Chains A and B, each alone.
Chain A
């Protein structure tokens, strides 16, 4: 059963002297999908990292099921909370399969190696991301998009109940964007809670039931996606004129010049 609730209470986040949000409250419940939108540098990543317990807030608390994140054992947290980070420049010398298998680390029962079940789950995630053919390739020979898919497969392998995803669609081509969002939608239907940073308002409309608009001046707005994904709000958010098109009942927003 999944009844994981991720909650931010009076959260004030800052990084490098820049205020990202002040006394911010929100609750992500099972089966909800949140989209985070905002300009470059508005602090979407930092907010996500704070919710993941990777960045210390200036004030306020983030809690998982009413227990503060810091009070959870890191490993225990990792069993419930999957985090997709923007690509870190790092050296990983192993194969794609080994990389994806790392997602099982928090669930690992023995100190030596992974179980057959772990490997099955990794295999499933590789298949979901269409990476079966690349499983034995060294990770550092992958293209940007393939790396991104491998990173998503790794998070899926984690089998968490709550997912915090930082730009899951970056570097992905159109087909893989659609595929990835389908995978996430299925997770949502299964009762997982998701929060993802997006730059594409269309995907936010299609997949997210809630959105969080993070403004550059440190104030934030959140609510039902339908109500917030309007031209007025998005023009204020991105500070540029937008044109609104309607295609088959969907609202498209195109930056005007």
Chain B
């Protein structure tokens, strides 16, 4: 499929997915009701629900999906590994340990956020400090450092979960599976997505060259070491922002870029905007299903990203054998 057409298609999907998220919930709204609530000057329940609850939520879901998908694209380019996702370098592990520890101590939302941010930052600095050697083209050290740190964090997470009491465990599991109901810092997240997305698109030619081989990239005039450091920190910022917004929502960052590639688009100047759009719409859809399908029960959104995404991706994979 030509990239331009796919881009237009995905652009059309954005209002559709946002509308789907806005209409569905414990108070279902018809399209016309939603329209009135959005633009009318009413003071009814529908308007309150829409502006106070649903709009922030769908916007959070969209930006979070975009951040994760973009982070996945950048990390797959950096690590030259199709299995790379936003969480492979231990950033989410560090954030999770921070968040869970705060929850165990009974901290509030703000303290939990701060603690998870601290954990993530520590992980970023540790992995970069130990794993990155300037001028060394072999990126496995970085990858291994990240994976080792992730494993360590995994053990700590298990420990924290066993130490926690009944109710706390549920909150922790929601954090671990991803949960968008406490999304905060929405404008900042949108700013990060736009800024990094724009930068990455501008520099997409270099990303293509890096994908062709590191030595080759150096021979073609790319300052490989600087690019790698830049990619690492860009991906880290995206990941941390997404983690702060919705916990560690799995699957989006790994699979969205692959879905675009399986359709046949791999040039980064298209891959980057397309992934961000698809990731955003996809997460809005998954989040809406997670909160409405068995309402009033709410499920972690991570469950639905996987349940929705796995069949689609398996189909795409089998299609092009």
**Which of B's residues lie within 8 Å of A, judged by CB?**
80-82, 202-203, 205-206, 208-209, 211-216, 218-223, 261, 266-267, 269
Contacts and interface: CB of A to CB of B under 8 A. Distances in A.
12 contacts: A74-B221, A76-B221, A88-B216, A90-B80, A91-B82, A92-B211, A98-B208, A98-B267, A102-B209, A102-B216, A105-B221, A112-B205
B220 A111 contact: no
A179 interface: no
Contacts of A79: 221
Contacts of B212: 90, 92, 99, 102
A88 B223 CA distance: 18
A103 B80 CA distance: 19
A94 B266 contact: yes
Interface of A: 49, 52, 54, 73-79, 81-83, 85, 88, 90-94, 98-99, 102-103, 105-106, 108, 111-113, 158
In the complex, the 10 A-B pairs of residues with the closest C-beta atoms, listed nearest first: A78-B221, A93-B266, A75-B221, A83-B219, A88-B213, A106-B221, A94-B266, A90-B213, A74-B221, A105-B220
A158 B80 CA distance: 23
A103 B215 contact: no
A84 to B, nearest CB: 9
Nearest to B261: A93
Nearest to A56: B135
A91 B208 CA distance: 11
B220 A102 contact: yes
B220 A158 contact: yes
B208 A88 contact: no
A106 B220 contact: yes
A75 B213 CA distance: 16
B81 A91 contact: yes
Contacts of B219: 52, 54, 78, 81-83, 85
Given A74-B222, A78-B219, A93-B261, A105 B209 contact: yes
A40 to B, nearest CB: 19
Q: Specify which of B80, B219, B221, B223 lies most central, judged by the most chain A CB atoms within 10 Å of its CB.
A: B219
Nearest to A101: B208
A24 to B, nearest CB: 21
Contacts of A92: 211-213
Given A78-B219, A92-B211, 17 more contacts: A54-B219, A74-B223, A77-B221, A83-B216, A85-B216, A90-B211, A91-B80, A91-B82, A102-B209, A102-B216, A102-B220, A105-B205, A105-B208, A106-B221, A112-B202, A112-B205, A158-B220
Contacts of A77: 221
Contacts of B211: 90-94
Contacts of B218: 54, 74
A108 B203 CA distance: 12
Q: Specify which of A77, A78, A91 lies most central, judged by the most chain B CB atoms within 10 Å of its CB.
A: A91
Contacts of A90: 80, 211-214
A85 B213 contact: yes
Nearest to A110: B205
Contacts of A82: 219
A75 B209 CA distance: 13
Contacts of A93: 211, 261, 266
B13 to A, nearest CB: 23
Nearest to A136: B264
Q: Specify which of B203, B211, B221, B266 lies most central, judged by the most chain A CB atoms within 10 Å of its CB.
A: B221
Contacts of A74: 218, 221-223
A93 B212 CA distance: 9
B213 A94 contact: no
